[in-house]
Amino acid sequence: MAGDFWASSHYKHWLFAPQYPSRCLSSLPEGQLFTEEEYQLLHFHYAHSIIRLAKTLKLRFRVAATACVYFKRFYLLQSMVSECDPELMVPTTLVLASKVENMHDVNGELVVREYTARHFAYGVEQVMEAEYFLLQALTFHLVVCHPFHPMEKLLDNCAIHGLKVGHLAPTAWAMLNDSYYSGVILVYPPSKIALACLVVAAMLTNIDISDWLSTLDRDHLGSLEAISKDVTNSYHLRAATTSAEFERLADVLHKHIVDRRVAHSLALRQ
């Protein structure tokens, strides 16, 4: 898996320096309308929408995870306000991810019917058009190397070294799944994300894995503190934010989108 990652388009085209997403935001209209924390909360909101829609459609979490990554990649350089409404991109990323993950029984009509967000007012044709726009923005690089297999290997290795993974594993998997709300997948290799989530899980469950960590080479431990901090900060920020605040931010964004469309329409008439 590690070898596959270093040869993949994920590594070659879609892995960035930690500061890059913030620099991208500053060049978009959203950077003038929302604080960086508010923009992060908007991403949490739409990641939750993707994951919830995937559950409604009874899709594997991997499909939702791939869709979340496509969503984050898309909005690195595309504007939520002026280029593509994120409410349209939620079902669109899930349709594309379903194809990539070989869930061929999922179609645009089904996804549109099941997506019931307040500000979603699009049809199947618009989702299909948005899918091509998404493919172009991704430069047709659709490979996503997830941290799921690395997590399995790490837990197996922990068990070999005598750690009680029965208590550790559920929390580690929960932290890994939660990492898709954050942007760590844009910045760090999947193997390091898996290790960071395992370390955070060990702290939360009061399981001492220091002896096991000492058996890992230095390359495995690089960026571990930064990733762990990103994952935990994301978790705490999301937990501290009420559903009303998420909805408020989505409403503010929707108003900016509508206002921009009205202004554009009036300009065309003049």
Q: Which of 45-54, 163-172, 224-233, 260-269 has the lowest mean pLDDT?
A: 260-269
Q: Per-residue pLDDT averaged across 22-51, rounded?
A: 96
For residue 4, is pLDDT > 90?
no
pTM for this prediction: 0.94
For residue 2, is pLDDT > 70?
no
Q: What's the CATH number for 17-144?
A: 1.10.472.10
For residue 1, is pLDDT > 50?
no
Q: Which of 118-127, 181-190, 216-225, 228-237 has the lowest mean pLDDT?
A: 216-225
Question: To the nearest whole percent, how much of the chain has pLDDT over 90?
Answer: 84
Domain boundaries, the chain: 17-144, 148-240
Cβ atoms within 10 Å of 236's Cβ, excluding its own:
10
pLDDT: which is higher, 219 or 61: 61
Q: What's the CATH number for 148-240?
A: 1.10.472.10
pLDDT for residue 234: 94
Can you list the pairs that 208-214 forms with residues at least 24 positions away whose Cβ atoms lie under 8 Å? 209/158, 209/163, 209/168, 211/161, 212/157, 212/158, 212/161, 212/163
For residue 222, is pLDDT > 80?
no
pLDDT for residue 116: 87
Q: Which of 88-92, 99-103, 235-239, 266-270 has the lowest mean pLDDT?
A: 266-270
